[in-house]
Amino acid sequence: MKILVLGGGAREHAIVKALIRTGTPAENIVVAPGNAGIAGDVRCVAIDPNSPLETTKFALEHQIELAIIGPEAPLVAGVSDALRSEGIAVFGPSQLAAQLEGSKSFAKEVMAAADVPTGMARECTTIAEVESAIDDFGAPYVVKADGLAAGKGVIVTSDRKAAIAHAEKFIDGGILVEEFLAGEEVSLFFLSDGVNVMPLTPAQDFKRAFDNDQGPNTGGMGAYSPLPWLPAGFVEEVQRTVAEPTVGELSRLGSPFIGLLYCGLIVTERGIRVIEFNARFGDPETQVVLRRLTTPLAGLLYAAALGNLETAPEPQFTKEVAITVVLASEGYPETSAPSRPIHGLHHAAAIEGVEICHAATAQGPEHLMATGGRVLSVVAVGQDFAQARHRAYEAIGHIKLEGSHYRKDIAKKVAH
């Protein structure tokens, strides 16, 4: 089967590695646009993943049988609809269904209609409304941009002024003020064929920039899987109370969700609450979830794309644990650094159980260069978290990039 993967981050690199590890020949995979690391594993092509026209033309010319859409931007741009209308199997929801991620107010409406547990929230279109909402809910304040904001649209703060300043930045696209929910965060992915859902395995993402959950929210600085502290029956409960009703509601609305339903959850004292949906694989959670997958990934995604998920085998995962640590450029997420050389990757990748997924890298004339905020993910597996952490941190210690930073506490609390 010829597969086109759209995107060029560490998530897409992890998808490519998982496809190959679970049986897809590397020569059957092409990535647009990819990055310097992905190009080391499979062919990359310089087409715009956000262009319905370019991606469809390429897919038809190259007899692509399955398109896997990594990031949210192509979904929101309608790339899956364009590919599907040409008869190509697509793992990635339609533009309409992707509104589950693209519009937080739409997601809230779907959850309300489907009776899915989530935080109380108020939609605001003026700063006066935001002020009155945050005063009603009280501190800590949770202020969310309604539309896509690359992981930077949400602020959680007890500083009223900072909450208002954040709202001012995003007010034109609408603001959602939400009640603060306390508890552990869990990311749980479901494959969906529009009707049926199938869970993968839970992971935890580290959203804040610095150790001990300090600093601003980011796209994600690290992750681990599985989550040994989850109560028995957790996955089944999320499937029954969140994933199935949500997919059912979208189907009723005439926009079936075919792709990956990312459930961002908080386990509160009063039960599980959804804090966000995404319409695609999470980054960096995918690096750990797919690292543990042993079932052929291409078959699972193809079955979902064709609406045949009930015929697919249940996804299996190794007993090994996995952690990933993101290496970020100086100033991330607030400012961007100039392009700088990266050294020591070979050394890092040579460590047992370690794999490097590239995100913002490009091959320069002499050196591999870091070209963006989240530069790469170091992924390590182990018999337990102590071993996986040891491997990941030893590997990342070999990587030299001026000004770069990473969190030192990924999976720390589960490593004994």
Using CB under 6 A as the binding rule, whether residue 220 contacts ligand GLY is answered as: yes
**x/- track of binding to ligand AMP for residues 170-209 (CB under 6 A):** --------x-xx---x---------------------x--
d(CA 394, CA 335): 27
Using CB under 6 A as the binding rule, whether residue 382 contacts ligand GLY is answered as: no
> What are the residues whose beta carbons fall under 8 Å from the beta carbon of 295, sequence distance 6 or more?
22, 313, 314, 315, 316
The percent helix, strand, coil of the chain (3-state, each to 5) is 35, 30, 35
How many C-beta atoms lie closer than 10 Å to residue 239's C-beta? Answer: 17
Using CB under 6 A as the binding rule, whether residue 205 contacts ligand GLY is answered as: yes
How many residues belong to the site for ligand GLY (CB under 6 A)?
7
Cα→Cα distances 118→61, 177, 205, 270, Å: 44, 13, 19, 11
Using CB under 6 A as the binding rule, whether residue 218 contacts ligand GLY is answered as: no
Per CB under 6 A, the segment of 195-203, 265-273, 276-284, 347-355 that binds ligand GLY is 276-284
Query: Residue 47 — φ and ψ, nearest 5°?
Result: -115, 155
Using CB under 6 A as the binding rule, whether residue 123 contacts ligand AMP is answered as: no
One residue of 81, 178, 249, 285 binding ligand GLY per CB under 6 A? 285
Ramachandran bin of 37, using left for φ above 0, alpha for ψ from -120 to 50, beta for the remaining angles = alpha
Per CB under 6 A, the segment of 112-120, 279-287, 379-387, 395-403 that binds ligand GLY is 279-287
Per CB under 6 A, the segment of 51-59, 120-128, 277-285, 309-317 that binds ligand GLY is 277-285
How many C-beta atoms lie closer than 10 Å to residue 53's C-beta? Answer: 11
Using CB under 6 A as the binding rule, whether residue 315 contacts ligand GLY is answered as: no
One residue of 283, 302, 348, 376 binding ligand GLY per CB under 6 A? 283
Using CB under 6 A as the binding rule, whether residue 282 contacts ligand GLY is answered as: yes
8 binds, among ligand GLY, ligand AMP, none (CB under 5 to 8 A by kind): none
Nearer to ligand AMP, 80 or 217 (CB): 217
Shortest Å distance, C-beta 5 to ligand GLY:
16
d(CA 373, CA 299): 33
Shortest Å distance, C-beta 207 to ligand AMP:
4
For 182-186, the CB contacts below 8 A with 24+ separation are 182/266, 182/268, 182/269, 183/266, 183/267, 183/268, 183/269, 183/273, 184/229, 184/266, 184/267, 185/264, 185/265, 185/266, 185/267, 185/275, 186/227, 186/230, 186/234, 186/265, 186/266, 186/267
Q: Which residue type is seen at 184?
A: E
One residue of 278, 287, 387, 404 binding ligand GLY per CB under 6 A? 278
d(CA 55, CA 139): 46
d(CA 333, CA 219): 8
- The two tokens of residue 263 are 């459930």
Strands 89-91 and 66-69: parallel
35 binds, among ligand GLY, ligand AMP, none (CB under 5 to 8 A by kind): none
Nearer to ligand AMP, 207 or 407 (CB): 207
**x/- track of binding to ligand GLY for residues 68-107 (CB under 6 A):** ----------------------------------------
Q: Could you list the residues that contact ligand GLY (CB under 6 A)?
A: 151, 205, 220, 278, 282-283, 285
Q: Could you list the residues that contact ligand AMP (CB under 6 A)?
A: 119, 142, 144, 154, 156, 178, 180-181, 185, 207, 217, 264, 275-276
